[in-house]
Structure 1
Amino acid sequence: MVKIVGNEVGPLGYGLMRLTWSVTPASKTQSLGAMKTALDKGCSFWNGGTFYGTPEYNSLHLLNEYFTQYPSDADKVVLSIKGGMNAATRQPDGSREGVRQSIDESLRVLDGKKKLDIFECARVDSKVPVEVTIRAAAEYIKEGKLGGIALSECSADTIRRAAKVHPIACVEVEYSLWATEIEENGVAQACKENNIPIVAYSPLGRGFLTGQIKTPNDIPEDDMRRHMPRFQPDVFDENLKLVHEITAIADKKGCKPSQMALAWIFKTSGRGGMPEIIPIPGARVEERVLENTTLVSLTDSEFDELNAVIKRIPVVGGRYPEAFSHMNFGDSPPEK
């Protein structure tokens, strides 16, 4: 169990993005069913966004509907919402005004059905010192309207500076068998130093590590993965080699590749120089939720085998297209 904003949450969280931000969003009935199953299976840390969808219907609207139908679940969920994005430009806005607008809108749409446990800016604003962003969010904590503050896709320096202004509830970054940058760029170390848990988004490599995507044609035409470097036809088969190796180890274990990928994160969590880690896979159907929540434990030898695989088979291609890569592990400008 990991403690976040004073609440203990299970080892596995739940990402809400694909429920409302998709070419073909899930139906409300399907979404609410998946959410209910996730909570019933112990996934009490939920992560959504003000921009996961449209201004008229995003994570917050779905959450309002969920807690209207299941009001007794409100106190069982630790809710983290990402915002701090300019709706018109889709660029980070960590200004005091931008932060206040995001938090106010979140509170408005939730309409008292669920408290806002954690707020985080989705990306670091390269024009606004992180100290300004954190102080703006901290005003809501003092007013009793917000439980805690998180960071997302930020550098180690940004984490350390933010933690000096206010305790940081968690740091959200991409982390999986094919995205281990935080082990080398100081982010994991900065979190460990400040006793900050990591929330690992895309722990299944945006579905690639499940073994279900076997060719580029398995990705829907309008899916954003079509534009991501690691899914391009010229490198697809190279990256598939990693999946084949993971699948072989999973087959010997008698589990799914997805379960193996999550088990590797559980085994890494709190180990050596790593902080506690909570993976937040997204799942739009109850069947997938049940698969992800069937937790598997790795032996030391299996863990070592997986680590050897990811060292032997490097991933080809960046996590995001070049046009967006400048926001990866973003740095904050100094405060004058």
Structure 2
Amino acid sequence: MIGRKVGGTGYGLTSRHAIPSEEQAFAALHIALASGCNLWDGGEIYGTPDYNSLTLLKKYYALYPEDADKVVLNIKGAMRPGWRPDGSPAFVRESVEKCLRMLGERGRIDMFECARRDPKVPLGETLGALAELVNEGKIGGVALSEVSAGTVRQAVKITKIVAVEVELSLWSTEPLTNGIADACAEFDILIIAYSPIGRGMLTGQIKSFEDIPHGDLRKILPRYQPENFENNIKLVKELEKMAQKKHCTTAQLALAWIRSLSNKKGMPQIIPIPGATTAERVKENAVEVELTEWEMKDIDTILARCEVIGDRYHPMGMTMING
């Protein structure tokens, strides 16, 4: 795919919680790699210009230079302030080169994706710029983020696509029914599943809307609002029961389900990228729980019985996905 093998679980370099200290962050990164989670996902847009996932990685690689070549790094960018996508060739190039500067000499970008498709710029121009950057050796491959199956099929006619990043979890199963998984399987494209633990809902730690911290993004997302929460928590409770029988955490069950999807006929390779701010949580997420065919069917039954309602994003955010 991109010249380096990736593991069964990745690591998301983002968090909606308080920013951890560098020492805490470095410990989480180090244990992630030691646990086999070598597909790391970050972004130019995650954090401030002086402290984000890229500047953090630069410092981490300085501390652990031997780890730089072990990581398969996916970076998203080409987004102006205010979450405004800009897919113009000039800005795409500017974004990639800025990311490389922030990573420093030890860093490399194995995959780069525009965080959202820019509807004002023809897809061929955006992907053409990224293909040039691949040819120049500045990025290893071109990925897509939050696009439709139609865009995937259009994109593969323009350049080689190595991955598609989408939200996928037991809390958000849309890619399995909207054609994304089918298109990726057809063209042998990796799916990177972000928020695989349902933005923390599938940990079982959120029991009510009031449990969501003040200022947390989930406070404004429809799926977590009081009018939807009581319905949606039913899924979490059912999964908790199954996890108890499996002697694992609900988060481990959720990640096992995603990994097991890859074993189904007609499915692409799917790698979840749970985010975590502590080494302990990373180690928990890295535990690979095995699910039988019958257990996967049991989960299908639970999903059919406990349908999650409410959009994934607020109205403005919904206009920026599935482009």
- Counterpart amino acid of 2:294? S
Alignment partners' CA distance in 1, 2:111 and 2:240: 36
Between the aligned partners of 1:270 and 1:96, the Cα distance in structure 2 is: 38
Counterpart amino acid of 1:155?
A: S
Q: 1:244 aligns with which of 227, 237, 252?
A: 237
Amino acid at match of 1:15: G
> Aligned to 2:215, what secondary structure does the other structure show?
coil
Match of 1:60 in 2: 54
In structure 2, distance between residues paired with 1:244 and 1:24: 27
**What residue number does 2:32 align with?**
38
Give the drift of 1:273.
2.4
Cα deviations across residues 159-190 of structure 1 (Å, max 9, x unaligned)?
11111121111000000112111122111111
Note the 1:51-130 alignment, pairs <5 A: 51-87=45-81, 89-130=82-123
- Residue deviations 1:195-240 (CA, integer Å, cap 9, x gap): 0010000000000011011111221101111111111112111111
Paired amino acid for 1:285: T
The code of the aligned residue for 1:311 comes to A
Partner of 2:215: 222
1:259 matched to which residue of 2?
252
- Structure 1 segment 282-293 matched on structure 2, within 5 A: 282-293=275-286
Equivalent position amino acid for 1:16 in 2: L
RMSD: 1.1
Distance in 1 (alpha carbons) for counterparts of 2:50 and 2:5: 32
Q: Which residue of 2 aligns with 1:163?
A: 156
Q: Distance in 2 between matches of 1:90 and 1:13?
A: 25
Distance in 2 of aligned mates of 1:292 and 1:231: 23
What one-letter code is carried by the residue in structure 2 that aligns with 1:38? A
**CA–CA distance in 1 between the matches of 2:26 and 2:18?**
16
Q: Can you give the 5+ residue segments of structure 2 that lack an aligned partner in the other structure?
A: none
Instruction: Give 1:270 shift.
Output: 4.2
Equivalent position of 2:180 in the other structure: 187
TM-score normalised according to structure 1 size: 0.94
Give 4+ residue runs of structure 1 displaced > 6 Å after superposition: none
Percent pairwise identity: 50
C-alpha displacement of 1:272: 2.0
The count of aligned residue pairs is: 323
Equivalent position of 1:333 in the other structure: none
Change in 2 beyond 3 A, CA 1:23/1:265: closer
* Residue 197 of structure 2: aligned partner: 204
